[in-house]
Structure 1
Amino acid sequence: MGTMAPMTKGLCPCGLGARYEDCCGRFHRGEGAAPTAEALMRSRYSAFVRGEAGYLLRTWHPRTRPARLELDPGPRWTGLEILDTSDGSAFHSTGTVTFRASYRGGSLHERSRFERVDGAWVYVDGDFLE
């Protein structure tokens, strides 16, 4: 928690220090599901960085998912910092992750809500924080 990771060639944007292919890349390819709400949040951040709109839609709760998603190519994401987590483990059905995602010229600070649907974690919605 509290780690900020800049984009490094070959490393996953999520900040855990592993190669993308072995980290969030496997979730993006559909080779398993994120085991915790935090892991899903990290994989969704990586999907924003890499332009994986299909993955973002697949991991969005059906009741809050938009019909389509067009990613803004403008932000140059530079790092992810997990500030707090609540619940969201294999023993929970809901969880929250508070994070700061930085980009050139600013950052996005959000408390995201997650739920399990058919055993898999999905993003429900979030509140932007100051």
Structure 2
Amino acid sequence: MPTILVVDDHEEIREALAEILEEEGHKILQAADGLQALEVVASSRPDVILLDIAMPGMDGLETLRRLKDQPESSNLPVIMVTAQGDRQNMVKAVQLGVRDYVTKPWEPGEVEMCVNWALKAASVVPNQDPPLLAQSA
């Protein structure tokens, strides 16, 4: 069972993402900020990280930079899930090595598709096809 870390300072967003991904059969870990996310990654080694940008303290871009700077987490797929859909943040995230970028509010099936693609690319679920967006709409 793949493990997904959901990082967002808003509990209702974390819970919504957790519910969606638990229905897909994933184990969910949660963190409320970037520092807590780094601690969870160090102790639990998730398969994929969903990461918000706008968080108090350490924002998602700094968290992503630190994850990619550490050898033990540099290859972890990170998907930004954020209301910050501006081009500047997207470019920064891509330069830092983000796997995918989802803007809030996300479309039905979008998060599941991105997570499944990330897992497939990381060979965590090698024979699982991602859900189609049209099936969820």
Q: What's the TM-score bracket when you normalise by the shorter of the two chains?
A: 0.3 to 0.5
If asked which structure has higher relative contact order (CA below 8 Å, sep 6+), I would say: 1
TM (normalized to structure 1)? 0.35
Which protein is richer in strand relative to its size?
Answer: 1
- The structure with the largest helix share of the pair is 2
